[in-house]
Amino acid sequence: MYNPYMYEDERVTYPRVGEIILYTVNKGDNVYRLAKTFNSEVPWIRCMNNLNEDMLIHPNQQLMIPIVYQKVNPLPQPYQRQSYDLYF
Q: Are 49 and 64 in contact (CB under 8 A)?
A: yes
Q: Is 57's pLDDT higher than 90?
A: yes
Backbone phi, psi, residue 35, to 5°: -60, -45
Q: How many helices (H) and strands (E) does the chain have?
A: 2, 2
Whether the pTM exceeds 0.85: the reply is no
Q: Is 36's pLDDT higher than 70?
A: yes
Domains within the chain, CATH numbers bracketed: 15-68 (3.10.350.10)
pLDDT band at 44 (very low <50, low <70, confident <90, very high): very high
Please tell me the predicted confidence (pLDDT) of residue 1: 45
Give how far Cα 59 sits from Cα of 23, 49, 73, Å. 11, 15, 35
